[in-house]
């Protein structure tokens, strides 16, 4: 049940800000006791569901630009290969510290505006 609630909140947050909600899911799964690598991998897969649902929802309003999505999405898919490769070679502790820095930066940007 807590996992469904995490998803609910992440989807809400994701749709509101046009992101997948991973910044919510990953810390929440770690908090529930998952290893950081498992949390990140599970989050990424779950985000796929959020992203597909969100894209269909917004396509209804005619706001999805497919060519632009491919322009950033295809290089990003290549980047994801490198990212997962690196992740397997980093210690969980290092990964979590880097993620904390990323979240703090996002948080500061949101607060400052």
Partner 1 sequence: MTIVLAIAIGAAAGVLAGLFGVGGGLLFVPALLMLGLDQHQAEATSLLAIVPVVLVGSWRQNRYGNIRWGAVWKLGLGSLCGVVAGGLLAERIAAASLQRLFGVLMILIALELGWRAWRGERSGEPPSGGRSSRPLSDAKH
Hey, which residues between 71 and 110 contact partner 1 (CB under 8 A)?
Answer: 71-88, 90-104, 106-110
In whole angstroms, the minimum distance from the beta carbon of 56 to partner 1 comes to 9
Q: Which of residues 44-73 bind partner 1 (CB under 8 A)?
A: 44-55, 57-59, 61, 63-66, 68-73
In whole angstroms, the minimum distance from the beta carbon of 67 to partner 1 comes to 9
Tokens of 90: 């980093």
| DSSP-assigned letters across all residues of 3-31 | HHHHHHHHHHHHHHHTS-SHHHHHHHHHH
Q: Which of residues 6-45 bind partner 1 (CB under 8 A)?
A: 6-23, 25-27, 29-45
Nearest-10 crossing angle of helices 22-31, 92-112: 130
Question: How big is the site for partner 1, counted in residues (CB under 8 A)?
Answer: 105
Decide: 25 and 51 in contact? Cβ < 8 Å: no
In whole angstroms, the minimum distance from the beta carbon of 89 to partner 1 comes to 11
In whole angstroms, the minimum distance from the beta carbon of 39 to partner 1 comes to 6
Q: Count of CB atoms within 10 A of residue 26's CB?
A: 23
């Amino acid at each position: 049940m807590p996992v469904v609630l995490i998803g609910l909140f992440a989807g809400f947050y994701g749709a509101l800000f046009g992101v997948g909600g991973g910044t919510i899911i990953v810390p929440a799964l770690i908090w529930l006791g998952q290893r950081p690598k498992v949390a990140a991998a599970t989050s990424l897969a779950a985000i796929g569901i959020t992203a597909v649902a969100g894209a269909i929802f917004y396509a209804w309003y005619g706001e999805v630009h497919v060519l632009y999505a491919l322009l950033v999405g295809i290089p990003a898919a290549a980047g994801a290969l490198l990212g997962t490769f690196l992740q397997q070679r980093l210690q969980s502790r290092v990964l979590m510290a880097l993620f904390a820095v990323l979240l703090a930066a996002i948080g500061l940007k949101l607060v400052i505006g």
